[in-house]
A and B are shown apart, each in its own frame.
Chain A
Amino acid sequence: MSTVRDTAADLAAALAGGETTSVELTQLHLDRIAEVDERVHAFLHVDGEGALADAAESDARRARGEARGPLDGVPIAVKDVLTTRGLPTTCGSKILEGWVPPYDATVVARLREAGLPILGKTNMDEFAMGSSTEHSAYGPTRNPWDLDRIPGGSGGGSAAAVAAFEAPLAIGTDTGGSIRQPGAVTGTVGVKPTYGGVSRYGLVALANSLDQAGPVTRTVLDAAMLHDVIGGHDPRDSTSIDQAWPSFTEAARAGATGDLTGVKIGVITELAGEGWQPGVMARFDESVQTMVAAGAEVVEVSCPSFAHALAAYYLILPAEASSNLAKFDAMRYGLRVTPEGNPSAEEVMRATRDAGFGDEVKRRIILGTYALSSGYYDAYYGQAQKVRTLISRDFDAAFAQVDVLVSPTAPTTAFRLGEKLDDPMAMYLNDLATIPANLAGVPGISVPNGLADEDGLPVGLQVLAPALADDRVYRVGAAAEALLTRAWGGPLLDQATGLTSSATEGVTR
């Protein structure tokens, strides 16, 4: 009998074996959402009717022997930053409240083609700006490990939905860590593919040169299976890579043996040290030892330019975002605020943008507008692009020595709601370890690697590979997962307390 705790791979097998139906599975997850989402708030919109209709079609297809692929019939949740035809898409912003896109993002279209019923849209920091999902205009998502803590961000909704067993699979997007960091702090798996590996068409852009959609799951194998569905060339996205990709599912299965013989792993010197939570570092060091024991060769590598990654990121991202968000002007869709009197179009735009955007969005629009201004462009945007080139060179040099690079995914475990809301710099530092991969376009995964001793909260291990070598991320990620799970005697999520609040129940570990 299938349960919401089953992995997507298990559910796929149960469907293939005729032990369950898509309608049954979809209903199971809808029931779970109904039961827990009031507390977790992972979803902004739940589309029970649509999901069940898709599930019924999937079952009919399977009955005819026409199942479209292994995940046909396995339900999924989608971050609210991807357009969904007929289903609201708000990007966590008031300015898009009520907007129903007339078209599907390519990722969404591929999910539909592969037969995955879409349960709904998940919560996120407004326009994906944030690391805690507290910047959602529709209220924060809570961490299933401790409801008083943040689930990471910007894709806290997708990570929490998977961690709380509301969905077996979810789609996230990662501009500076928005898939990987939520994965780390919720004890789930998140993958940022190579830039260009997954189509961005229909992904409402935060920073076009950094954004990538990717899998949010509970296991590396599930992520790989999902990546096989959503990846590949899309002629609608000019930056999409036009090449054949290997099967990531096979890569993950190969890695699951846990054998790392002959694999060279680099530990990034710059991504450790002061400011890193001891429990995070302890789990990281253990994980590295575990991999050495499994045959891996580990060396330290230095990436000196990573020191400037955060600064470069916070120029490039706001610059692109300030331009991307200009389209939200009340003229064609979304919120419209009409001031008193006989306002001009410009006054309507101003009033709408003032009312429709949250503080963090405004902060970044102002930053980006400034960075692109005449006379400042070279000093800010231009310099940031140079740093970006240096970071790519650091990666090139590192990958000349090793097969993959590893680091903790995030410097700390999940912090408390509100703790960093008034300190943008502290919030930004959460993405210190994840940002370099976005700047260079390389793929990365976050795999749960234990609980921090001081707070009992989950910690993530990040594995990075050279651009196009996403299969390596899955192979090594799956190996680490297999070794760690074997040591724990079961998935890390089995150790979660079950949607309780540390503040009210005093639970600490």
Chain B
Amino acid sequence: MTDILMPFDEVLAAYDPALGLEVHVELNTASKMFCGCPAVFGGEPNAGVCPTCLGLPGAMPVVNGKAVESAIRIGLALNCDIAEWCRFARKNYFYPDMPKNFQTSQYDEPICFDGWMDVDIQNEAGETETFRVEIERAHMEEDTGKSLHVGGSTGRIHGADYSLVDYNRAGIPLIEIVTRPIVGAGEKAPEVAKAYVAQLRELIVALGVSEARMDQGNLRADVNLSLAPKGSGVLGTRTETKNVNSFRSVERAVRYEMQRHAAILSGGGSILQETRHWHEDTGITTSGREKSDAEDYRYFPEPDLVPVAPSREWVEELRGTLPENPTVRRSRLQAEWGFTDMEMRDTVGAGALGLVEETIAQGAAPQAARKWWLGELARRSNEDGVDLVDLPITPADVARIQALVDDKTVNDKLARQVFEGVLAGEGTPDEVVEKRGLAVVSDDGALGAAVDNAIAANPDVADKIRDGKVAAAGALIGAVMKEMRGQADAGRVRELILEKLT
């Protein structure tokens, strides 16, 4: 069944959207939330498990102190208060990938609460505007196992021939960060949602508490959306779209749900409170399980754990370990590098800020670093469908290639071949230059011969240059480069031509 959608402009004329974002961050602690098993998903299924994370009878949980530390640091970075005393709670429901049939989570006593994050978005004039997103809470919990539904066409449980469960992921620490309803964003709602998730990811990366790879599920966003009649100031019935796993999809999912809700509401229908699935390929959401307020998780404090009571001294000590706020950092770097707003925005938007920063730290000029990451490498990441950060090339490699350009070992055109070689796994930039024989010919003898050949072959052009029309040298340079198969420094060729003809 295809949903009916209302054109976006019409949605905005009639309705105010309210957003809510729930982001799960998988921590990169060495061990799981409540046991000593490695917190690494993947590997041989059900190898990284023990009585506790398998929920065997009699086994008991013990809180991972490092996960508590990460939770507090995330909370502090989100300007939250940190609870002086809080407990874990059991969230009871049956599902085969949940070993105990309850998830050990936090309920009415989250470790972090009442925070905010300022999100930067662009207005119509292309200027940066700040939108404050209020954080209701950030709490600790454990991940579930992962189900694999085999057979059937959808990969979902319905219609599958059988299902397999891998409990390696069960018990990996998660921090769930929940916003208050975000109202007043209007047409910017999709953009605010995307920017919030992107900036949150940036913060998580800066904190170093998670790999924060959306494609790997380290960072998972659930998008809550409701519409209310314009100006009414009330909150409508919401839908919760699960596992929206890229920034762009967050934006698209919000936009889609706004249009879908509006079409239903304007037709006199009402929104069903439910979970919806996002389909990356088709860009639509479909109904998941119905989720009403009647769904009862029967929360109660986890009796096998003692309360978590972080001392104020510890909290302040952790506050001292926070990295520079990403927004502040961006302003500082922009000033240092002399980037325009547009250049900075593109750099951040491409997820290249850290990469560019590190490339510059390795010795490259700011514009050169930006040019490579947002040009050649952005193109490759698009083609290969991987994030920039996951390309098999390091900022140090990029800086080295730029150094090779700077010292005229290669020119820009050859540099692209060096990138190609490094990305193809042929070795370091220097090794690629060596193996592929890419170094420009700096031997004036060979170059001189090529220049002589070019002059001889193009007497008319040579005459023009002799007459002072220096601009005509381009044609001769081209001929020389062609003969040298590109392995020449165009600047030096020009010098030689002018030496001989003027």
Contacts and interface: CB of A to CB of B under 8 A. Distances in A.
Name, among A200, A319, A345, A373, the residue most crowded by chain B CB atoms within 10 Å (CB to CB): A345
A331 B100 contact: no
A369 B298 contact: yes
A372 B89 CA distance: 12
User: Chain B at the A interface: mostly helix, strand, loop or mixed?
Assistant: loop
16 contacts: A101-B51, A105-B58, A202-B58, A236-B62, A238-B62, A239-B304, A320-B303, A322-B92, A322-B298, A326-B100, A327-B99, A327-B101, A332-B56, A332-B99, A333-B56, A372-B298
B217 interface: no
B404 to A, nearest CB: 56
Contact of A332 (B55, B63, B303): B55
Nearest to B55: A327
Contacts of B60: 200-201, 236-238
A102 B56 CA distance: 9
A462 to B, nearest CB: 25
Interface stretch (A157-165, A204-212, A270-278, A404-412): A204-212
A13 to B, nearest CB: 34
Nearest to B88: A238
B484 interface: no
B13 interface: no
B62 A326 contact: no
Contacts of B96: 329, 331, 345
Contacts of A209: 303
B57 A89 contact: yes
B92 A373 contact: no
B300 A83 contact: no
A103 B62 CA distance: 17
Given A105-B58, A238-B306, A326 B102 contact: yes
B92 A326 contact: yes
Nearest to B158: A344
Contacts of A205: 58, 304
A153 B100 CA distance: 27
Contacts, number: 101
Interface in A84-104: 89, 91, 96, 99, 101-103
A327 B100 contact: yes
Contacts of A349: 94
Interface in A369-393: 369, 372-374, 377, 381
Contacts of B63: 238
A203 interface: yes
Contacts of A96: 57
Interface in A305-327: 319-320, 322-323, 326-327
A19 interface: no
B101 A101 contact: no
Contacts of A331: 96, 165
Contacts of A377: 298-300
B59 interface: yes
A208 B296 CA distance: 22
B427 interface: no
Contacts of A329: 94, 96, 101
B268 to A, nearest CB: 31
A82 interface: yes
A102 B58 CA distance: 11
The 7 closest A-B CB pairs, nearest first, are: A326-B101, A208-B303, A372-B298, A209-B303, A202-B58, A204-B57, A83-B58
Interface in B278-321: 296, 298-300, 303-306
A17 interface: no
A91 B298 contact: no
A235 interface: yes
B90 interface: yes
B21 interface: no
A201 B298 contact: no
A323 B55 contact: no
A346 interface: yes
Contacts of B61: 238
A373 B300 CA distance: 10
Nearest to A350: B94
Interface in B13-65: 51, 54-63
Contacts of A332: 54-56, 99
B138 to A, nearest CB: 22
A83 B101 contact: no
Contacts of A204: 57-58
B163 interface: yes
A102 B46 CA distance: 15
A102 B59 CA distance: 11
B58 A203 contact: yes
B55 A103 contact: no
A322 B300 CA distance: 11
A333 B58 CA distance: 13
Interface in A166-212: 200-205, 207-209
A208 B304 contact: yes
Contact of A101 (B58, B100, B296, B298): B58
B57 A235 contact: no
A231 to B, nearest CB: 17
Interface in B304-343: 304-306
A202 B55 CA distance: 11
Contacts of A235: 62
Contacts of A83: 56-58
Contacts of B100: 326-327
B51 to A, nearest CB: 5
A219 B34 CA distance: 39
Contacts of A102: 51, 56
Contacts of B157: 345
B94 A326 contact: yes
A236 B163 CA distance: 32
Name, among A96, A204, A323, A328, the residue most crowded by chain B CB atoms within 10 Å (CB to CB): A323
Contact of B300 (A201, A328, A372): A372
A44 to B, nearest CB: 15
Name, among A89, A200, A331, the residue most crowded by chain B CB atoms within 10 Å (CB to CB): A331
A61 to B, nearest CB: 28
Contacts of A369: 298
Contact of A372 (B58, B59, B92, B99): B92
A497 to B, nearest CB: 38
Contact of A238 (B58, B92, B102, B304): B304
A209 B57 CA distance: 16
A374 B165 contact: no
Interface string A328-354: 110111000000000001100100000
Contacts of A91: 57
Name, among B61, B90, B96, the residue most crowded by chain A CB atoms within 10 Å (CB to CB): B96
B57 A323 contact: no
A398 to B, nearest CB: 25
A465 B38 CA distance: 43
Interface in B421-447: none
A103 B55 CA distance: 13
Nearest to A349: B94
A345 B161 CA distance: 12
